[in-house]
Structure 1
């Protein structure tokens, strides 16, 4: 009799789906894998680095940056307010005061930082920084960015033109869609990637902090 009971119990256990025996372990394993795949948090900028970014990009004084950060304003909000300040002409602190009660899109409308005006002022800011940081004439930056070329393209093209007998217009016209700059340089200038990096590396971005802000 006992033998029959044991056999019956064994048969019952065999009918239980194996997947439900270890649900907790499977879930835990998936959670651990997700945590392992998650990239590490980016290190935060120091106060000095935040002051550098906001003064170099948007003309906010180091003193104002420190005061606003110390009062609890997050860096990303402060950066956005600084850009809108340049576009609209409104003080940064006034823009942040509006942000306390309104979403950013509404703030942009309230201060007039929308439409063609905002677009042109954004281009102007980039062109001003091209000149401040690397000596690229503002009118050159405006000309090419109004054609749709990003700020980085203007910088790289200007540097390559200085190192060769190519004009900026000729470089941009010849560059193939999807072709990276190193490939273009190898094809037309006969230089390797190391030389390209050296040329571009002569013109540092004062607001770029690798691994922190870009």
Structure 2
């Protein structure tokens, strides 16, 4: 049975823990989180402070960054690049085309759909019942929230967040580290570092980074 170590012990981690328990031949071994004060064991899982990551073996351990915040996921990845093996998990109820590409560390949640020739970047979250249409390209560290729909040939840049129930029409591009508000309908391209809300979505604010 393959041993999995999770980085993060918050709400998103709880969902990933449930997902892993549904996947045959995987077992949660350790959970690392900076809020854990000391090492302890519960239900055969070892809990460690974040600082203990330096003591693991990069060649022997498999990890998932189980944190919902996109910026934090990337910071952890950059800080611990020696941990170069990250597992990808797909919920058994997710529908994923054999022609889709799911990169290292990505997690596909319950009821999600990923269609033909879509690319889901490393450490990206496709959340519950989100739909990723054909030929979509989602960058690393992004998050497609529950019930969001990316129709065909949509591009989502690194670190961007598409909010719950949002819809992005075909061919639209969303830049890096941008946020699409819940329920928005995106009909035009959104630049980097922008926040867009409403129907149709309009840019509410932009930042330099």
Q: Fold-level match, TM-score > 0.5? A: no
TM-score (norm 2): 0.32
TM-score, normalisation: structure 1: 0.31
Larger radius of gyration: 1
Higher relative contact order (CA 8 A, sep 6+): 1
Which has more strand, going by share of residues? 2
